[in-house]
A and B are shown apart, each in its own frame.
Chain A
Amino acid sequence: MAEVKTEILAKYKAKVFKSRKDHILEVDKSKEQIIAANTRAIPGIMTNRGCCYAGCKGVVLGPLKDTLVLTHGPIGCGFYSWGTRRNKARADADGSNYVQYCFSTDMQEPDIVFGGDNKLKKAIEEGFKLFNPKRIMICSTCPVGLIGDDIHAVAAWAESEFGVTCVAFSCEGYKGVSQSAGHHIANNGLMKRIIGTDDREYPAKFKVNLLGEYNIGGDGWETERILKKIGYGVVAVFTGDGALADIARSHKADLNLVQCHRSINYVAEMMKSAFGTNWLKVNFIGLKSIAQTLRNISEFFGDNQIKERTEAVLEEEMAAISGDLAHYRERLQGHKAAIFVGGSRSHHYQDLLRDYGVTTVLAGYEFGHRDDYEGRRVIPDIKEDADSKNIENLVIDKDLRYRAFLSPERADELKNAIGLENYEGMIRDMEDGTFVVDDLNHYETEAFVKFLKPDIFFSGIKDKYVIQKGGILSRQLHSYDYSGPYSGFKGSIIFGQDLTMGLYAPAWKLVKAPWKQKPISPNQEGESKEPTNSERLGEKDHA
């Protein structure tokens, strides 16, 4: 298969070739493999990546329901990040649910020329009068940083003027190389200003936070359902259906469960340094992963009752879905998948696909770092570059409230036993001969589809129809094509159902007109010899 990489790269001219060659690797676990990641996108090459603002406002802060998130900039950025990411939220006890709203300063030319500070102040004042929010977050877009608006000073002014918590995030789109920089900036702001600001105890014996769970399609709700059923108290979710009010006392939890490693590992690490909160990489996507995750959590708490309860819940939940699981597995097994999503899902979903007997032939992250691919052990080796240097790395001191839940011996033991405070990365779980591609671009998507012939390509909206037009099923793993949840036991079945529905859609068989399949006259133009997905599917039984 090594020729696949060579052939794909062959189309690039020297400079692009040089930039791209280390972002593509064929898995060979007999070797120590290094992948290039978190480096600049190449101008003109169609990347799927978004920007720093998208990572900060769009991903991490956007889902907060008790917070007025105000975009300071021209209208576009605020508009696009309104209601489009499926981070579901139910109104708080006090009825507030800001997720349904888009707030922007809608900067105009005079604001760019003369500065936008005053408009920002005025907007906060108006927002305060209309909604009386307790918390306001300001997110800046590209021009704000360039014209030098001091949004942090405005935030301080708002706090003294209105008695609200107001935090500013300088997440201008040009910072960093992708959404990833924005995650980091958002993490920093939450750590500096929110986490640990409310010392009320959380009334539960086994307390966890759920980190990097954005409740897309209701994933977080299904995960919480399982955790609560076993007997855990979920102090705060970062940040799906989340509230800053909860995050303020998240340091009261004993364990941070990290679902999306990429977007939230900074908070996990910083809370460990400040408060001693342990963290555990979890995966609630895929049945075997969920079982492993739940057993790891119960092992952390080391309580026999919770261990027994874990086994009982696993048994009960698995029994409830076993019929459906077998039904969809029969229809899905033997298919091949490619996955290209943001920063952690490309790993998570391989587990779920494996449950259904679907093999993954290609996986990649849009904005992952080397540790997401190779595991956290490579972090000390990652060289800072001009772009990553500009993103602040907070130095966190031990807080007075620091408490170690585990004895040092037990902590050491658990590092090995359950991978406490570690993430081994995606590559380790992939088969030899499969491909890992970082920042997969439009051309490479087309090329890999041609070479690897997956039956299904999981990606986002920008290339969904590129792939579908080429006769291959594409499902969005950012938005789940408006379905979901896909997490947990129930979500696994919905995923299997959606995948089956997609692969066996009757219209696949109709793509080619009958007269194209069997030329009516000998002169009629023949089509390609390669069977399309629809034709391949035509040979299989229907669901």
Chain B
Amino acid sequence: MLDQTPMEVMERKALRINPLKTCQPVGALYAALGVRRCMPHSHGSQGCVSYHRTFLTRHFKEPAVASSSSFTEGASVFGGGSNLRSSVKNIFDLYDPDIIAVHTTCLSETIGDDLNSLILEMEIPDDKIVVHCNTPSYVGSHIHGHANMVAGFIRYLADKRAPKSDRVGLFPGFVNPGDIREFKRLLSLMDIDFITLPDQTGVLDGPMTGVYEMFPEGGTTIDDIRALGGVKLALAMGEFCSTEPALALKTKCKIDSLVMPLPMGVNLTDSFLMALSEISKKPIPKELEDERGRLIDLMLDANPYFHDRECAIFGDPDTVLGLTSLALELGLKPKYLVTGTPGEAFEKKGAALLESYGALAGAKVKAAGDLFELHQWIKNEPVDLLIGTSYGKQIAKAENIPFVRAGFPILDRYGHAYQALVGYEGALKLAVKIADAIMDRMDSDCADEDLELVM
């Protein structure tokens, strides 16, 4: 496996090998699926949306609907306006969504289609809405695409004249429906009324009923997006995922946001809940304290198996930072932190996090990295554990390293989209998986006489 990867690391300026990111549009598509009765629409050639639907379906094992402007060579030369107009008409005629959320592609961005004026000038039925965002594939990553789409919804729909409410906005970031469910549970337990944007629960973790619905009963309602203009505050989870939506809400409706890390592990969940408590002016309930207590209990019980094990953590920036925080709390030693998404902030925050545990020496933190380089690092200085997305499985196999899947995408295991990584519960479940992976390896590697029945 990956036998051609040389040990010697050579600096590369142009060649990306085994990437750890993908392009903006898929993030926009995913975000748009979190709005009720919304058809995500890709303004480009149909191959893009085919790849994106495929990719999302492989992760969620759920339908991921989206349409395309189906550019031909002619449209690429003369502009895609007519394709977009036909698309919008056909989509409303045939699928009848309430809203179409258009995102661009490298194709339509390169030819310079002006979506603002195209949408302004097109005929849209009175009770229907078309919004858009720009997602050039040659800038940033899928994370930025998600952020841009959420911001797009806000720019078009959040209503600055919406009645001021006691509600709180929540931008959960590029996370699984399982995480969003956990966010909602935590906010409810803290007695906070909220609006989540986007909200893919019920859409990408829909129950099996024997009846297919193109637009299931899930997703943020358009009314709720409008009402975001009147919330008292928004919680923007994940600096990389949610700063853009926070800025959009501030610009459009003068509403402040609290940009916070994804609450993974104890410290970050503590801070999150304390922030909620500040907002609601209510104490953190015993139920959550008990959850916290159970997590700490497990961390102490299993500490010997975590202690000083070196690990590599890779995936999307906010997720990697959150997972690193948990890993450090468990007693693991994160040696390599890599995201494919560009952004110096990742490197600074990652390094600071490691530094706070005195774990920076000998560690590498890299944004805009790739799995090829991570593998080379591991070949030079191995780790005991990999934590990341499915794409890490090649390295895990090549180097025979225990591998815990977490993040996006998980293409090769089931049920991950249901499970939260955030909150004490998410941390508990992940800690168990990590301990299992480490201990399973100990069992399989040890001599017969060393096999411990009790551990």
Residues of A within 8 A of B (CB): 11-13, 15-16, 40-54, 70, 73-84, 91, 95-98, 100-109, 111-112, 119-127, 129-131, 141-143, 145-147, 172-178, 386-387, 390, 442-443, 446, 460-471, 507, 511-512, 528, 532, 534
Contact = CB atoms under 8 A, between A and B. Distances in A.
A70 B22 CA distance: 16
Contacts of B196: none
Nearest to A510: B208
B258 interface: no
A44 B87 contact: yes
B3 A462 contact: no
Interface in B66-96: 66-76, 83-84, 86-91, 93-95
B90 A42 contact: yes
6 contacts: A16-B90, A51-B50, A78-B19, A100-B394, A126-B14, A466-B212
Contact of B47 (A54, A109, A460, A462): A54
A143 B23 CA distance: 14
Interface centre among B25, B87, B212 (most CB of A within 10 A): B212
Interface stretch (B56-64, B246-254, B306-314, B439-447): B56-64
Contacts of A111: 138
Contacts of A386: 72-74
Contacts of B305: none
Given A103-B16, A511-B209, A461 B75 contact: no
B47 A469 contact: no
A75 B107 contact: no
B262 to A, nearest CB: 23
B258 to A, nearest CB: 31
The 10 closest A-B pairs by CB, nearest first: A51-B47, A76-B23, A44-B87, A44-B90, A122-B14, A106-B16, A74-B137, A471-B210, A142-B107, A80-B51
A462 B4 CA distance: 33
B94 A45 contact: yes
B21 interface: yes
Contact of B107 (A54, A80, A146): A146
B76 A146 contact: yes
Nearest to B49: A46
B10 A104 contact: no
A11 B95 CA distance: 10
A51 B19 contact: no
A141 B106 contact: yes
A100 B1 contact: yes
A13 B95 CA distance: 12
B6 interface: yes
Interface of B: 1-4, 6, 10, 12-19, 21-23, 25-26, 41, 44-48, 50-55, 57-58, 61-76, 83-84, 86-91, 93-95, 105-107, 109-111, 136-139, 141, 206, 208-214, 340, 372, 391, 394, 411
Contacts of A75: 16, 19, 21-23, 137, 141, 340
Contacts of B212: 446, 466-467, 469-470
B99 to A, nearest CB: 14
Contacts of A460: 54
A368 B17 CA distance: 33
Contacts of B10: 126, 129-130
Contacts of A443: 94-95
Contacts of B4: 95-98, 101, 131
Contacts of B23: 74-76, 79
Nearest to A71: B16
Contact of A470 (B86, B107, B137, B210): B210
Contact of B46 (A41, A97, A130): A41
Contacts of B71: 173-174
Given A76-B137, A143-B106, A443-B94, 11 more contacts: A13-B89, A42-B86, A43-B90, A45-B94, A54-B47, A75-B137, A82-B18, A103-B16, A123-B16, A174-B107, A465-B57
Contact of B110 (A46, A80, A142): A142
B110 A43 contact: no
A520 to B, nearest CB: 18
Contacts of A49: 46-47, 50
A468 B106 CA distance: 33
A53 B51 CA distance: 11
Given A101-B18, A174-B45, A534-B210, A16 B138 contact: no
A141 B71 CA distance: 13
Given A50-B51, A51-B46, A112-B106, A465 B62 contact: yes
A465 B63 contact: yes
A12 B93 CA distance: 8
B150 to A, nearest CB: 19
A363 B75 CA distance: 31
Contacts of B15: 70, 103-105, 122-124, 126-127, 130
B183 to A, nearest CB: 25
Contacts of B64: 462
Nearest to A391: B73
A142 B210 CA distance: 40
A102 B106 contact: no
Nearest to A470: B212
B82 to A, nearest CB: 8
B290 to A, nearest CB: 32
B374 to A, nearest CB: 14
Contact of B6 (A130, A390, A507): A130
Contacts of A442: 65, 214
A532 B62 CA distance: 20
A112 B106 CA distance: 9
Contacts of A13: 89-90, 93-94
Given A95-B3, A461-B58, A40 B50 contact: no
B45 to A, nearest CB: 4
Given A44-B90, A123-B15, A53 B47 contact: yes
Contacts of A126: 10, 12-15
A528 B51 CA distance: 35
B65 A174 contact: no
A443 B2 CA distance: 42
A79 B44 contact: no
B50 A107 contact: no
A13 to B, nearest CB: 5
Nearest to B76: A174
A12 B90 CA distance: 9
B107 A143 contact: yes
B106 A462 contact: no
B22 A52 contact: no
B160 to A, nearest CB: 32
B68 to A, nearest CB: 7
A461 B18 CA distance: 23
B216 to A, nearest CB: 9
A142 B72 contact: no
Contacts of A91: 3
B130 to A, nearest CB: 12
Contacts of B57: 461-462, 464-465
Contact of B139 (A47, A108, A177): A108
A123 B70 contact: no
Nearest to A468: B208
Contacts of A173: 44-45, 47-48, 71, 107
B418 to A, nearest CB: 15
Given A78-B19, A173-B107, A471-B211, A43 B50 contact: no
